[in-house]
Amino acid sequence: MAEMDTRTPRERYRTQVRAEIKEHAWEQIATTGATALSLNAIAKHMGMSGPALYRYYASRDELITELIRDAYRSLADTLHSASLAGADLTVLAHAVRGWALAHPQRYLLIYGTPVPGYHAPDAITLISSEIMAILLDACAALPSDSPATPFDAHLADHRDWADGHPAPPAVLHRALSFWTRLHGVLSLELAGHFTGMGFDPALLFAAELDDLSAHRGDGGPGD
């Protein structure tokens, strides 16, 4: 049975309206993009007048910040699930890609062009490092006998972002490459820079992924 909700009806109503606002916001973002998000339109769509929204979100920026946080949370949860069900890099990569293609505006909200004056609050940094931890675990699972590069040496001394994760520099390096390479393909694809070029972005993504898992692996027959 549900335990007694200690919150007052007012509070429950409030959180429900906040959630409904975000729902409409996502709907609008999915069609018109994040920059064109309009509080007025959301309000009218919900049957109330513009300024009423300001009872729930102090500003447009605050709403967007919460949307970004939710997007991070959604991605982190997706990765967490994938990581539980067999956490190798390939599975993880396809989870990321699937999520990004299902919610392009969410991905772009996180990793796209930043809002000029925007600064990520700590809550987001936390989720971000949670994602990084999953990635580092997956990278650590792969063997790595590649020679230490100059960048590896640099990483040995600059591993704040690993947040205490005991991975060796080569693994840190691999995680960063994983992140930046997949983002390179994904962001260009989502931005539409491949449309009209003729090839299938999914295959390029897979090729980059193959290269990541193979060429510094067990020294075996890479592919």
Write out the residues near DNA by the rule CB under 7 A. Answer: 8-10, 13-14, 17, 37-41, 43, 47-52, 54-56, 58-61
Residue bearing tokens 């020679």: 147
CB of 33 to DNA, least distance (A): 13
Q: Residue 214 touches which of a copy of itself, DNA, none (CB < 5 to 8 A by kind)?
A: a copy of itself
d(CA 107, CA 188): 12
Closest CA to 178 of 124, 136, 116, 217: 136
CB of 110 to DNA, least distance (A): 21
Q: How is residue 169 written in tokens?
A: 């520099």
- Of residues 138 and 190, the one with the C-beta less far from a copy of itself: 190
- Of residues 25 and 79, the one with the C-beta less far from DNA: 25
Three-class SS of 35-60: CCCCHHHHHHHCCCCHHHHHHCCCCH
- Of residues 138 and 216, the one with the C-beta less far from a copy of itself: 216
CB of 82 to a copy of itself, least distance (A): 21
Contacts of 117 (CB under 8 A, 6+ apart): none
Q: Residue 60 touches which of DNA, a copy of itself, none (CB < 5 to 8 A by kind)?
A: DNA
